Every structure is written in C-alpha cells, then in structure tokens.
C-alpha cells in the first residue's frame, strides 16, 4: 500500500535524467555543474555542461525548484536515462525527503541489482564506481575440449599465443550487437578478446586490436609495474621505476576523442579509399580573394581561400552529382543526395570535429562566407551541437594552415568524398611559356571506391583545380 508520505515525496521531489542530446548517443560525461544543493533553479535554467561523443552541450532543467541532490560528480560518465539531479519543487512544504542515493553509484530501480563477479569498472580520473547499467543474466557457456582447442587456434592466429585458453571466461563475453557483428565479419572469437570498455565490455577497438597480430615482445607495457632484470643490472631499480613512470602518461579515451577513433576505424575498415592528387596554380584565386575583401557586398564576413575552394567544390559536385552519394550496406543501395551538406573539418581543444553547412549548394558567396565564419567560431568555442555534425555529404579539410603540402584524408563516415587542401606557397611555375613565381597548392581527394569510380573522382578533382586556376569558371560553370 502506498503511504501518504511516499505520495508526498513523489509529488515534491522531481528527478531530471540524462537526456539523449544527440542522435542515438548512449552516454555523456558531466564536465561542470553550474548549481549546488540549495540553489534555486527555474524552468530553462542551465544546470550543467556535458560532453557527448560529439560535442559539449549545456543542459537546462525543465521545472522550477530548489536543488536537493546532485547524483554524480564532475568528470563522471553517465548513461542516458539515469537521474543526475533531484529538485525540490515544493520547498518548505514539509520535512519529507527522498532517500539519497549513494555518492559513488546511481540510484537503482531494483532493490538487489546483480553485478558480474570479478568486474570492477575503473577509468583513470573517474575513480571506482558501480555501473548502473542493468543487463539480463547471461547463460553460461560450456567450454569443453573442442571449444578450448578452437580458442587456442584463434589466439595463435591473433598473435596472442595459447595463453588465451586460460583466459576464456565462463560466461558469454559482453559486447554490443554492432561489435559482435564486426567480430563475426573479421573472424574474431570474442572469447579471445581482452575487453577495455567500462564494466568489462568489449569495444570495436578491442576487436580491431585482436584482428591485428601483436608483436611477440611487449616489454614497454610491462616495465612500469615490473622492471626487467636487464634494466635492474644497468642502473639502480628505484631510478628505473621513477624514470619509466615519468616517460608515459595514460589518458582515458572518452568523449570526442573516442568518437574520432571509432569513426576513423569504422571508415577505414568499411569504405575502400582511393586518393588522387593534383598541384595547381592558384595565383588568380588569391587575387580574387584580395579583391573580394574590398567588395562592399562582402563587408562583415571573412573572405579567405577556403571560401573560394568551398564554392569550387560545390560547383564541381553540381557538374558531377553522382559523387554526392552514400552507401547503404543494410539495404544494398546507393543513395544519391540531391543536397550538399558541406562538412568543414575543425581542430578544437577537445579534438577534431566535422560540423557541416546545411544545404550549402543553395547559398550565395556572401551567405557561404557567413556560414563558414559562424561554423568555425562555434567550433572553436566548443559550442557545436550534435545536430550541426550530422548529415554531412562531403567534407573539406584544410591541412595547409599547418604548413602541410597535402595528405591522404580518411572519409567522414557516411560520406562519399573528402577534399584536403595543402599550403599555398610561392613556387617557380611555367606560366605563358616562362618560369615565374606563382602561388601554388596541392589538392588531394579521397573517395569511396564503392560509390565513385576513378573517372568520376578524377573529373571532380580536375574541375576543382580548374576553377581555382581560373576563378571565372565559377560564373561560366555555375
């Protein structure tokens, strides 16, 4: 029977759960709390900043009241749907209060949650905390001689030796469905994979690591804990331990960095990349940039070579729309995009992100300049939203700002092509039959060979180069 006190508590204290601030994200890290217990909040009041796998996002609370409890501290990764803050929406109405959750663990819906024995999730910088993720009990799998033999063979193939047999768990390895599919595609037995995910969960990186033969000796990983005998003979043991301890720093892989790693590995192992290069004289483009800076129609927006390069790529896509497509593996279809969401790779303090300009093909040059400026400014401030990074079709990465001539860029997942722009340098160039100093750069176009044949990719890259060499083609080809 529900008592009056329990009813009062439910009405007085409201819980705010970690929302899905992106598209299908499963967790977020609390970067900073802007409120503390006892603070008054109103509907729309920003209570904390969290970092997802895509961006840093501020969370507003949807009701008024007084903060009663913060369930998690800063630096803690919380699953979507878990309570992060409790608010007293009727302060002063009574002494009833909800039973506070343990500081080190989120509130559990079940009175006696079961946790797999022998697993203590530890993340550097987080401390030890019980996982709030509830999983159904898994049935044990028998490991007889045939299974042990298969495990041994798989371990040898992965370069980990027969020692993997003794490490076979008695229960089914923990892994998400996409990771299990990846392991199946690569021919990897999950029982031979050492998990690095929180709570003993096997990640995509673990599977790829298992698929790559490991070097026979790995002394570096073992030395910080157990100094090798040879090192002890060369120098006193204390000096060796202190020296090795200062030579390495362990940084937990999370947030944007984790997303970058997963995206790049997924793209590199799923899309067959082809990269083509062209070196082009962009002297006329640089003159156009200088002229546009003085044009009153471009007042208030930033004009730079990237603007003209972006417009050149959009014109090339208009001339060759087949390049603007995506590969649908599940349905075995090629999806032609009749719009261009132009991604711009941006280096931020949190790592590389690729926000995109929606419907960039419909924008005029001044509009495109304004969109580029806003995109870059927002990215540098760390305020890029997950929605701004979703739905890209093609991308530009400007490695030239670092003085690099060119590169072989990896496709952003789900996209068909990425254009790398190298540094623009004054170089000797044959112009009108004479060697003259000209502004020259190198372009590199990587594309998904499932979607884009060599001929199509070459035509797109050649068109971009031709426009940069003769910018008037922006008018004649538009």
Burial of 426 (0-12, 13-18, 19+ CB in 10 A): exposed
Q: What is the pLDDT of residue 22?
A: 64
State mean pLDDT over 75-83: 89
pLDDT for 139 equals 44
Q: How far apart are CA 424 and CA 444, in angstroms?
A: 14
Mean pLDDT of the 422-429 span: 96
What per-residue confidence (pLDDT) applies to 95?
54
As a whole number of angstroms, the distance between CA 307 and CA 323 comes to 21
**Cβ(313)–Cβ(368) below 8 Å:** no
- Report the length, in residues, of the chain: 478
Over residues 355-391, the pLDDT tens digits come to 999 999 999 999 999 999 999 889 888 888 888 888 9
The alpha carbon dihedral of 91, 92, 98, 102 has a sign of: positive
**Tokens in use for 370?**
């304004």
Q: Which has the higher per-residue pLDDT, 75 or 364?
A: 364
Rounded to an integer, the average pLDDT of 62-90 is 91
Q: Please choose, from the candidates 26, 416, 21, the residue with its C-alpha nearest in 3D space to the C-alpha of residue 203.
A: 26
How far is 203 from 123, CA to CA, in rounded Å? 15
- Of the candidates 160, 273, 361, 449, the residue annotated as catalytic is 449
Distance CA 389, CA 54 (A): 8
- Which own/partner pairs from 117-126 qualify as long-range (CB within 8 Å, at least 24 positions apart)? 119/199, 119/200, 121/198, 121/199, 121/200, 123/77, 123/198, 123/252, 123/254, 124/250, 124/251, 124/252, 125/75, 125/252, 126/75, 126/76, 126/77, 126/252
Find the range with the poorest average confidence among 347-356, 429-438, 448-457: 347-356
- Residue 9: the pLDDT is 61
pLDDT band at 222 (very low <50, low <70, confident <90, very high): very low
Distances in whole angstroms, Cα of residue 46 to Cα of each of 55, 59, 187, 381: 16, 5, 47, 17
pLDDT in tens, 97-126: 555 555 444 444 444 444 444 433 333 333
| pLDDT reading at 161 higher than 60 | no
Among 34-43, 180-189, 197-206, 231-240, the range of highest mean pLDDT: 34-43
Distance CA 179, CA 165 (A): 22
pLDDT at residue 23 in the model:
58
pLDDT number for residue 447: 96
Catalytic residue check, 431: no
Q: What is the mean pLDDT of residues 308-334?
A: 95
So what's the pLDDT on residue 237?
39
């Amino acid at each position: 029977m529900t008592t009056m006190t329990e009813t009062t508590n439910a009405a007085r204290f409201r819980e705010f759960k970690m929302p899905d601030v992106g598209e299908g994200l499963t967790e977020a890290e609390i970067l900073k709390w802007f409120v503390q217990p006892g603070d008054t909040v109103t509907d729309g009041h920003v209570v904390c900043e969290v970092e997802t796998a895509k961006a840093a996002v501020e969370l507003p609370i949807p009701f008024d009241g007084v903060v009663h409890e913060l369930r998690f501290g800063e630096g803690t990764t919380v699953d979507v749907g878990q309570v992060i803050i409790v608010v007293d929406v009727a302060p002063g109405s009574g002494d009833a209060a909800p039973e506070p959750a343990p500081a080190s663990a989120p509130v559990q819906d079940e009175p006696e949650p079961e946790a797999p024995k022998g697993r203590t999730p530890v993340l550097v910088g987080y401390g030890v905390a019980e996982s709030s993720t509830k999983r159904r009990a898994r049935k044990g799998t028998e490991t007889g001689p045939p299974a042990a033999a298969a495990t041994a063979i798989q371990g040898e193939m992965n370069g980990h030796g027969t020692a993997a047999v003794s490490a076979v768990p008695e229960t089914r390895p923990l892994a998400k469905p996409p990771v299990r599919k990846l392991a199946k595609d690569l021919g990897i037995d999950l029982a031979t994979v050492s998990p690095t995910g929180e709570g003993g969960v096997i990640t995509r990186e673990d599977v790829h690591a298992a698929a790559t033969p490991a070097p026979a000796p790995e002394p570096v990983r073992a030395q910080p804990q157990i100094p090798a005998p040879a090192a002890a003979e060369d120098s006193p043991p204390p000096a060796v331990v202190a020296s090795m301890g200062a030579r390495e720093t362990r940084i937990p892989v999370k947030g944007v960095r984790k997303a970058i790693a997963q995206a790049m590995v997924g793209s590199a192992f799923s899309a067959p990349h082809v990269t083509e290069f062209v070196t082009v004289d962009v002297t006329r483009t640089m003159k156009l940039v200088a002229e546009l800076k003085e044009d009153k129609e471009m007042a208030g927006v930033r004009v730079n070579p990237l603007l003209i390069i972006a417009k050149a790529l959009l014109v090339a896509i208009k001339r060759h729309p087949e390049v603007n497509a995506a590969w649908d593996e599940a349905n075995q279809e090629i999806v032609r995009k009749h719009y261009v969401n132009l991604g711009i790779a941006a280096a931020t303090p949190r790592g590389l992100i690729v926000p995109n300009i929606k419907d960039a093909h419909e924008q005029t040059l001044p509009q495109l300049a304004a969109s580029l400026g806003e995109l870059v400014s927002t990215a540098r401030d760390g305020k890029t939203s997950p929605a701004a990074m979703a739905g890209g079709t093609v991308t530009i990465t400007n490695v030239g700002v670092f003085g690099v001539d060119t590169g072989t860029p990896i496709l952003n997942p789900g996209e068909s092509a990425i254009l790398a722009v190298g540094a623009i340098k004054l170089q000797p160039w044959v112009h009108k039959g004479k060697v003259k100093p000209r502004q020259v750069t190198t372009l590199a176009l990587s594309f998904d060979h499932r979607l884009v044949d060599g001929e199509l990719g070459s035509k797109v890259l050649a068109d971009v180069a031709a426009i940069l060499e003769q910018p008037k083609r922006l008018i004649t080809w538009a």
